[in-house]
Structure 1
Amino acid sequence: MLLLALDTATPAVTVALHDGTSVLASSNQVDARRHGELLLPAVDRVLAEAGTRLDAVTGVVVGVGPGPYTGLRVGLMTADTFGLALGVPVHGLCTLDALAYEAAGTDLGGPFVVATDARRKEVYWARYEDPRTRVTEPAVDRPADLAEAVAGLPAVGAGAALYPDAFPDVRGPEHVSAAALAALAAERLAAGAELLPPRPLYLRRPDAQVPKNYKVVTPK
């Protein structure tokens, strides 16, 4: 097994290579506006660091979000392209699940919440019983509306860090890493679990909309 993992559902542009046992190489850069510019060079760096070639990859893992439309589609389209070019399977994984899995090294001590920045003064979030077990579906909400659902729970993720009134107990990490994404995917595949299809989990419509009631101009 040689999994190429990537995620662009958050401001992090993150890539990793996993051999089914451990992470061979990884790259993490945080820049919400340069996903398309940074992703492929990151893939090249990871392959070079691992001393291997793209055609040695046996599977691709991609974070399906939830995340903003523009950034998320960069990773998904890249993963689909690699899968088609290499003739290998492309597996999807919830980005929040990977962030929860990465939080296993922190002292959470029980149930917790993962929250990423959804912009528009909202967060993408889900509740977890432990780093491997999500107990609610991913959702998008205003932090002020989550008081009852997250009361008393520690929180992980940059979305939580933005709203201390709603999430007073914030732990690391802030952003997802492809290393965690790959490790979780490898663990689930080894257990015979079926991963998600590589399709975007948007949860809401794109920010860019076609104007309503716009005037159609036709030639005379």
Structure 2
Amino acid sequence: MLLLAFDTAPPIITVAVHDGDRVVGQAAGEGAMAHGELLAPAIRDAVAQAGATMADLTDVAVGVGPGPFTGLRVGVVTALTLGSTLGLTTHGVCSLDIVAADVQVAGEFLVATDARRKEVYWARYGGDHVRLDGPHVAIPADLARQHPDLPTYGRGGQLYAEVLRSAGDASDPRAAALARIVVSGSARELPLEPLYLRRPDAVPQVLPKRA
């Protein structure tokens, strides 16, 4: 197996190559509105670091969100294209599950990421890292009232630490964690479709018809 994994839900894009035993190549790029320009070079660098070529890949895994419209579309379309053109086995995973995979805590916890508009995407997890509820989108104060005692991991918890019980350093979904849970068989896989949870920020303008 040679698995290519990436997530484009957060501002920071991460890419990893896993050979079935360990991560053998990694790359990253940062730019909230530049996912399309950053992903391809990061994939190229990670594959080269692994001492492989694109033709050597057997699988591709992608975080399907929730996240912003543009970033998710870039990642999912890239995974679908690679799967089709190279004949790769494809794997889709909730991006909140990827963050949860890096959490080291006993008992239940929350993962919250930045949903913009002063909201967070969130999900609740058990001590075995299995998702128990979500994903949802909510105002941080509402989430805090719903789960006042649970520690919150992820960028959303850090952004709204005055409301949520922010805990630990786990922030954005990492491609290395995505690769690890897919290879281990512990990932709860989803179709390769962007998980938006709400309508995109940008909508086409409707011009009035001329008489």
TM-score range, shorter chain: over 0.9
Q: CA deviation digits over 1:78-120, x for unaligned, max 9?
A: 111111110112110010001100123xxx3321110110001
Q: Corresponding residue for 1:215?
A: 208
Counterpart Cα distance in 2 of 1:51 and 1:182: 17
In structure 2, relative to structure 1, the CA distance for the partners of 1:131 and 1:49 (3 Å cut) is farther
Map of 1:167-182 to 2, 5 A cutoff? 167-182=164-179
Counterpart Cα distance in 2 of 1:131 and 1:9: 24
Relative to the length of structure 2, the TM-score reads 0.94
CA contact (8 A) 1:103 1:131 kept: no
Counterpart Cα distance in 1 of 2:96 and 2:15: 16
Q: Corresponding residue for 1:88?
A: 88
The AA in structure 2 aligned to 1:196 is L
Deviates more, 1:129-138 or 1:46-55: 129-138
Q: Corresponding residue for 1:116?
A: 113
In structure 2, relative to structure 1, the CA distance for the partners of 1:118 and 1:141 (3 Å cut) is same
Deviates more, 1:91-100 or 1:19-28: 19-28
What is the Cα deviation at residue 125 of structure 1? 0.4
What is the Cα deviation at residue 194 of structure 1? 6.9
Query: Which 4+ runs in 1 deviate beyond 3 A?
Result: none
Q: Corresponding residue for 1:34?
A: 34
Counterpart Cα distance in 2 of 1:140 and 1:197: 20
Gaps of 5+ in 1: none
CA contact (8 A) 1:102 1:131 kept: no
Counterpart Cα distance in 1 of 2:127 and 2:113: 18
Task: Please give the secondary structure, in 2, of the residue aligned with 1:55.
Answer: helix
Task: Please give the secondary structure, in 2, of the residue aligned with 1:139.
Answer: strand
Gaps of 5+ in 2: none
Q: CA deviation digits over 1:136-178, x for unaligned, max 9?
A: 0200011011123221211111111111122133221211110
Q: CA deviation digits over 1:1-30, x for unaligned, max 9?
A: 111001101112111001122111112333
Relative to the length of structure 1, the TM-score reads 0.90
Map of 1:14-25 to 2, 5 A cutoff? 14-25=14-25
CA contact (8 A) 2:12 2:29 kept: yes
Task: Please give the secondary structure, in 2, of the residue aligned with 1:96.
Answer: helix
Counterpart Cα distance in 2 of 1:132 and 1:185: 14
Q: Corresponding residue for 2:123?
A: 126
What is the Cα deviation at residue 131 of structure 1? 5.5
Map of 1:1-220 to 2, 5 A cutoff? 1-104=1-104, 108-130=105-127, 132-188=129-185, 195-211=189-205, 214-217=207-210
Aligned-pair identity (%): 48
CA contact (8 A) 2:93 2:188 kept: no
